Amino acid sequence: MKTIFKSLFAITVLSLVFSSCGNGGSDKKSGALSSSAAEKVYVAPGEHDEFYAFVSGGFSGQLAVYGLPSGRLFKVIPVFSVDAEKAYGFNEETKPMLNTSHGFIPWDDSHHPDISQTAGELDGRWVFINGNNTPRIAKIDLTTFETTEIIEIPNSAGNHSSSFVTENTEYVVAGTRFSVPYPQKDMPIAEYKGNFKGALTFISVDPEDGGMDIKFQIMMPGFNYDLSHPGRGKSHGWFFFTTYNTEEANSLLEVNASQNDKDFIAAINWKKIEEYVNNGGGTKAPTNYAHNVYDEHTHTATSTMKDEILIVNPSDVPGAIYFLPTPKSPHGCDVDPSGEYIIGSGKLAAELTAHSFTKMLAAIEGEKFDGEAYGIPILQYEEILAGAVKQPGLGPLHTEFDGKGNAYTTFFISSEVVKWKLGTWEVIDRKPTYYSVGHLMIPGGNSRKPFGKYVLAMNKITKDRYLPTGPEVTQSAQLYDITGEKMELLLDFPTIGEPHYAAGIPADIIKANSKKFFKLEENKHKYVTKSEADAKVVRDGNEVHIYMTMIRSHFAPDNIEGIQVGDEVFFHVTNLEQDYDVPHGISMIGAQTSELLIMPGQTETFKWYPKNVGVWPFYCTDFCSALHQEMQGYVRVSPKGSSVPITFTLDGDAVDAE
Ligand code: RUQ
Ligand code: CUA
């Protein structure tokens, strides 16, 4: 995003200057911190927020869970990042989640969370989110709030027009930002035009367990595919993607990709392509990508490399893909709750464009074409236009809907949220954001049934809104009440990384299904220890496996002898608790990867390489009980080749290994 707007930098700076003095004044007048605003966001101690907001962590690769309206942070879910707090990506069980065809990549840039839907309404089962840099789509299970699946997207680059779901979660869609040679090859960059391809990937989602699988990949012309949204209601079965750089420039895009008066929204009839594929259509092509799945019962992830993908070329399925001309490098691509209007936000355009789905079908039917691009028909602009919002602001990005006939669009350059009316296209209200808003979110705002009570603006620039914390100021979200004719700014709260986009949902849809603990009898971990009596230490050459349990307030075994310098020691630790909110931690002095935080009924593993002889302690890292400080043990390390046998203490008694 930042580079896209470089050419507008001067205007941006100017508008910032204006918004910080001009709007700052009106802010005080309208009393953003007036007592009524304070009351609207106050959630009394012990009470619950009305909504969950899943806010992407941008370059942190995480997903943060906030309550709305309070703005309280409940959890940070690591997705494309390692997380010391949860040992995700550190413990042996979750390392495979971050495997890719490029090896272990414990970082990514995550942008667009989207919640699963049934019949066009949020069902609260899963959140999907994209990793842009090394293209991946992840799924987070909302019973555990853990990342349970990551699928890599081959032939894609800068996976940005992702990860949006169709209205029955038939598919989660991933679109490439950068076009690249397909298949990848060594070729001059100057020969980009006509030779690079843009892959749009449709990943099927199993309706029962949510299992993801790449169903097909459409090889589109070499444009940049920016954002996307599914059709819904009457337009269910279609998917819409904004494109920019239809010029197919390969350098200095800020100038060279802004030449065309109109770029396109690509309208994809995925139902038609699905039918083609189900009847044996498409070409199987060799590829290489990772599919990583976390199993809740083994508490372990596995990574499988896949070597084939089904490619569909637009010319294979005539009548499935059309281009909708849309002014000036459109960024956001949003579909209203009825499925009739497709909103394209031309970043450099003077107006917001709304296409009509009904008119689009009629134009297709009547063959109202304006030429073609790489064999894909371009529909006549006037034939499909529903209307335009005139002079709404500068630098439109994204639009969400309140379900009452209103739309809300963010304007990066003029730094505001603008409320306008679907159908009449008139501007109803505008409120400044502090500053330079990117996405905005209304819970359910991208479904048939939005919950139009609040809009959350996610800002790129914070400046003076918080106490300074060195050169880096946390990025910021702002909450507005949208129940009245005019919006009212209620709250600022800090976010993690870049709050790129968010998905919100009424808490009631999720909280009843939230898991309290894992059942010990269902634990199928390879190294589970289900009772203290089964705890043991097993040597196998220089590998030592410790089968350990934890319960308030001790480990079994606690003292272990017979370990030698040069051993590879595996701590497989099972938390025997069967109660809500009783994790235990374990850390070992000198352990290089991590400490663990283990949920009730769960088993996790870390490795320890003892380097020096001596007696070395381990302890519980989570304050679990009044006797938490007593929860500890020792490992005696002897020289390599020592005759000290493996022994350990269980329940205070010394036990010999088998
Ligand atoms: S984009 S700020 Cu990465 Cu979602 Cu528009
Ligand atoms: Cu267990 Cu502290």
- pLDDT for 630-639, tens place per residue? 999 999 999 9
Residue 608 CA, ligand 2 centroid: distance in Å? 20
Whether residues 416 and 528 fall in one domain: no
Domain boundary among 485, 513, 541: 513
Which residues approach ligand 1 with their CB closer than 6 A?
Answer: 1, 111-112, 160, 331, 397-398, 438-439, 500-501
Domain boundary among 454, 482, 513: 513
| Residue 18, pLDDT above cutoff 50 | no
Please answer whether residues 494 and 578 qualify as being in contact, where contact means their C-beta atoms are separated by less than 8 angstroms.
no
Domain boundary among 513, 533, 567: 513
For residue 477, which of 122, 54, 139, 107 has the smallest C-alpha distance? 54
Specify if 100 maps to a domain. yes
Whether residues 493 and 554 fall in one domain: no
| Residue 2, pLDDT above cutoff 70 | no
| Residue 645, pLDDT above cutoff 80 | yes
Whether residues 544 and 406 fall in one domain: no
Query: Half-sphere exposure (CA, 13 Å, Cβ side) for 605?
Result: 22
Please answer whether residues 440 and 408 qualify as being in contact, where contact means their C-beta atoms are separated by less than 8 angstroms.
yes
Whether residues 323 and 352 fall in one domain: yes
pLDDT (tens digit per residue) in 344-394: 999 888 899 999 999 999 999 999 999 999 999 999 999 999 999 998 999
Residue 332 CA, ligand 1 centroid: distance in Å? 8
Question: What's the average model confidence in pLDDT over 420-427?
Answer: 98
| Residue 640, pLDDT above cutoff 90 | yes
pLDDT of residue 27: 42
Whether residues 450 and 543 fall in one domain: no
Looking at ligand 1, which atom is closest to the CA of residue 412? 2
* CA-to-CA separations, 481 to 38, 133, 191, 461, in angstroms, rounded: 12, 35, 51, 21
- Ligand 2 contacts CB of residue 75 (under 6 A): no
Specify if 45 maps to a domain. no
| Six token digits for residue 289 | 């990508």
Residues 294, 567: Cα–Cα separation, whole Å: 29
Whether residues 317 and 427 fall in one domain: yes
Specify if 43 maps to a domain. no
Alpha-carbon dihedral sign for residues 492, 498, 500, 505: negative
- Ligand 2 contacts CB of residue 622 (under 6 A): yes
Question: What's the average model confidence in pLDDT over 648-656?
Answer: 90
Domain limits for position 594:
523-654
pLDDT of residue 15: 43
The band of 33, judged by pLDDT with boundaries at 50, 70 and 90, is low
pLDDT of residue 17: 37
The CATH number of the domain holding residue 615 is 2.60.40.420
| Six token digits for residue 419 | 């409320």
Whether residues 487 and 577 fall in one domain: no
pLDDT of residue 34: 61
Question: What's the average model confidence in pLDDT over 8-29?
Answer: 40
Specify the higher pLDDT residue, 155 or 29: 155
Residue 161 CA, ligand 1 centroid: distance in Å? 9
| Residue 21, pLDDT above cutoff 70 | no
pLDDT (tens digit per residue) in 533-555: 999 999 999 999 999 999 999 99
Nearest protein Cα to ligand 2, atom 1: 584
Specify if 64 maps to a domain. yes
Chain-wide mean pLDDT for the chain? 94
Looking at ligand 1, which atom is closest to the CA of residue 132? 3
The CATH number of the domain holding residue 214 is 2.130.10.10
Residues 591, 587: Cα–Cα separation, whole Å: 7
User: Radius of gyration over alpha carbons of the chain, in Å?
Assistant: 27
- Ligand 2 contacts CB of residue 598 (under 6 A): no
- Ligand 2 contacts CB of residue 596 (under 6 A): no
Residue 645 burial (CB count, 10 A)? 11
Specify if 52 maps to a domain. no
pLDDT of residue 7: 42
Question: What's the average model confidence in pLDDT over 431-443?
Answer: 97
Specify the 3-state DSSP secondary structure of 625.
coil
pLDDT (tens digit per residue) in 468-499: 999 999 999 999 999 999 999 999 999 999 99
Question: What's the average model confidence in pLDDT over 328-356?
Answer: 95
pLDDT of residue 348: 87
| Residue 16, pLDDT above cutoff 80 | no
pLDDT of residue 441: 98
Residue 351 burial (CB count, 10 A)? 16
Eight-state DSSP code of residue 306: E
pLDDT of residue 656: 87
| Six token digits for residue 504 | 């919100």
Whether residues 605 and 460 fall in one domain: no
| Residue 104, pLDDT above cutoff 80 | yes
Among the bound ligands, name the one nearest to the CA of residue 575: 2
Whether residues 348 and 201 fall in one domain: yes
7 upstream amide cis, omega within 30 of 0: no
Specify if 38 maps to a domain. no
pLDDT of residue 274: 98
Residue 575 CA, ligand 2 centroid: distance in Å? 10
Question: What's the average model confidence in pLDDT over 35-55?
Answer: 95
Looking at ligand 2, which atom is closest to the CA of residue 552? 1
Whether residues 330 and 460 fall in one domain: yes
The band of 200, judged by pLDDT with boundaries at 50, 70 and 90, is very high
| Six token digits for residue 337 | 């709750």
Looking at ligand 2, which atom is closest to the CA of residue 622? 2
Q: How many domains does the chain have?
A: 2
Specify if 343 maps to a domain. yes
Residue 173: its H or E element: strand 171-175
For residue 295, which of 93, 45, 22 has the smallest C-alpha distance? 93
| Residue 62, pLDDT above cutoff 60 | yes
pTM above 0.75, yes or no: yes
Specify if 412 maps to a domain. yes
Please answer whether residues 361 and 396 qualify as being in contact, where contact means their C-beta atoms are separated by less than 8 angstroms.
no
Whether residues 456 and 528 fall in one domain: no
Residues 404, 401: Cα–Cα separation, whole Å: 8
Whether residues 433 and 298 fall in one domain: yes
Neighbour-count burial for 11-25, b at 16+ CB within 10 Å, e otherwise: ebeebbeebbeebee
Looking at ligand 2, which atom is closest to the CA of residue 553? 1
